[in-house]
Structure 1
Amino acid sequence: MRLPRPNVVFDYQLGGAYTPGDKVRAVSRDRGAKPVDGLYNICYVNAFQTQPGDSVSWWKKHYPHLLLKNDDGDLIVDKDWDEPLLDISTPAKREALMNVVGPWIDDCAAAHYDAVEPDNLDSYERSEGKLTPQHAAAFARLLAARAHQRHLAVAQKNTADLLPQHARIGFDFAVVEECGRYKECSEFSDAYGAKVFDVEYGKKDFTAACRAWGKELSVTLRDREVSPAGTDGYVYDSC
């Protein structure tokens, strides 16, 4: 297992893969994309929610019992991204989900990624009270164990509330969105030292984060849609 070097230039390419800049030393890409030779490659896996669009239909068809539902039987959906939540509320369902998500982690290893980034660890905050931080931590432990078995490092994605459990869960470093904006960088730094990749989406937040943390942490500016280079809306900077 290889951990990331601290305070290196980082690119966050979830919206589509493209050639990183010459100074970039670490990159996060969707699990369907190829890693970049010579860089530290982080494999993005949406582990606690479905992807939007066709993926929702796939889950409904193959694993409807693993989608979280409210008391009326309707799917509980992250409305910001149109992503139904996965049901991690029982040990049996978590084990069943590992039969789906686990092979995705295996694929990251087979593609020669260095680490995995399981997203939406904080989905319990959007679960209408159906999920708890304890459920999230329990599923995260399974994900981390699977990744470590495949010699992948594991990033904690956001979710400062679970920082006290980061070692017990098995997280090795952090990928954080807007820790500068939300004044959480110190908490993540306390847990992971300089092995924190912060992505800011606002120019003012990026400037402030660079001023406060640029000499210690990897701070990156991206557009919120994480658009590929060369497309409308693309924004990238680092400090």
Structure 2
Amino acid sequence: MRPTLRRGLRLASGLVLALALLVGPAPALAGEVAPAPPPTGVAWDYQLGGVRAVPDEVDVVVRDRRAEPLAGDVYDVCYVNGFQTQPDEKGFWRDHWHLVLKRHGKPVVDGDWGEWLLDLRTAAKRRALARIVGRWTDRCAEDGFDAVEYDNLDSFTRSRGLLTAADARAYAERLVARAHDAGLAAAQKNRAQWDGTRVGYDFAIAEQCAQYDECGDYVDTYGDRVLPVEYRRRPFRHACRDWAERLPVLRRDVALASDGTRRWCPATG
């Protein structure tokens, strides 16, 4: 089913709910309409480092929350760094310093990306963070995106023992609920062995799952609703060999630059 038809069905469902409010109680109906996940069996593109045109066969595009969605017939996914800070937003987070995870007074850093971890240790901080990220999520919906990707679900594994899996789960549940309230599907990113459907995630973006032998874990949870991206040539070839008949494998450069590497598995048969 094309994304435009999916959007039409979602809008129609919303009208049905609005009419139902006039004749029946809302609580019984509010949870019945779920945001549509991306279509399966179609090519996709990952454009966090800069936007670019896409071939006609690409039906799903992921872009940063500050970029415009491609719109048209494409299913648009909004990238939000939900569990860590963006490197260029440190000024913003200094204004919310109590929500940044610190050890001995200094921010705990994801060294690979230079990102500060967010402090998920208390319910009050999780609520405050979910309000901030929730506003970004609402903006994604207002801009016309169909779904949201919350990055770094596994940040607790880089927290030097300060965060727990339970902290991450409780916070993730808030973010997914906010996405659904905004009419957006929600993508799990990272932590392949964990079943994100337990908190309502609708699909997964599987970064380097062939390189780390995790594609099967995502498929066990989400079936065909998995979008794999590889950054190295050999894992990409392996992913094409092992998964291309079922999943839309993509190769990008690590920077996801607008003029960077972009490959899809060669057609077979």
TM-score category of the 2 structures, normalised to the smaller one: over 0.9
Pick the aligned partner of 2:131 from 99, 102, 109.
Answer: 99
Query: Which of 13, 38, 41 is matched with 1:7 structurally?
Result: 41
Shift of 1:91: 0.5
Residue 25 (structure 1) aligned to one of 40, 51, 59? 59
Distance 1:162 1:112 in 2: 30
How is 1:83-162 mapped onto 2 (pairs within 5 angstroms)?
83-162=115-194
* Counterpart amino acid of residue 124 in structure 1: F
> C-alpha displacement at 1:143, in angstroms?
0.4
Answer yes or no: is 1:74 the counterpart of 2:100: no
What is the DSSP-based 3-state SS (H/G/I as helix, E as strand, rest coil) of the residue aligned with 2:188?
Answer: strand
Residue 206 of structure 2, aligned match among 167, 170, 176:
176
- State the alpha-carbon separation in 2 of the partners of residues 179 and 161 from structure 1: 11
Task: Report the equivalent of 1:64.
Answer: 97
1:44: Cα distance to partner? 0.1
* Structure 1 position 7, deviation (Å): 2.4
Aligned residue for 2:177, secondary structure, equals: helix
* Aligned residue in 2 for 1:39: 74
Q: Percent identity?
A: 47
Between the aligned partners of 1:204 and 1:96, the Cα distance in structure 2 is: 42
Q: 1:52, 1:83 within 8 Å by CA — same for their partners in 2?
A: yes
Could you say what secondary structure the match of 2:106 adopts?
coil
RMSD: 0.9
Give runs of aligned pairs for residues 187-206 of structure 1, distance below 5 A. 187-206=217-236
Q: Does 1:235 align with 2:261?
A: yes
Distance 1:197 1:143 in 2: 20
Q: Is residue 49 from structure 1 mapped to residue 84 from structure 2 by the alignment?
A: yes
> Structure 1: how far apart are the matches of 2:169 and 2:248?
25
User: Deviation string for 1:112-170 (max 9, x for gaps)?
Assistant: 1110000011100110100011111111100000000111000000212322xx22211
- The alpha-carbon deviation at position 22 of structure 1 amounts to 2.1
Q: What is the aligned length?
A: 230
Distance between the aligned counterparts of 1:24 and 1:238, measured in 2?
10
- The runs of 5 or more residues in structure 1 that have no matched partner are none
Give the whole-Å Cα distance in 2 for the aligned partners of 1:39 and 1:96. 33
Q: Please give the TM-score of this superposition, normalised by the length of structure 2.
A: 0.84
CA contact (8 A) 1:137 1:162 kept: no
- Deviations along 1:175-200, whole A, 9 cap, x unmatched? 01111111111111111011100000
Runs ≥4 residues deviating over 6 A = none
- SS of aligned partner of 2:227: strand
Work out which structure has the larger RCO, using CA pairs closer than 8 Å and 6 or more positions apart in sequence. Answer: 1
| TM-score normalised by L of structure 1 | 0.94
| Distance across 1 between alignment mates of 2:54 and 2:230 | 18
Which ranges of structure 2 fall in alignment gaps of 5 or more residues? 1-34
Residue identity matched to 1:68: L
**Cα pair 2:102 2:108 within 8 Å, conserved:** yes
1:133–1:162 contact (8 Å) kept in structure 2: no
State which of 214, 220, 238 in structure 1 corresponds to 2:244: 214
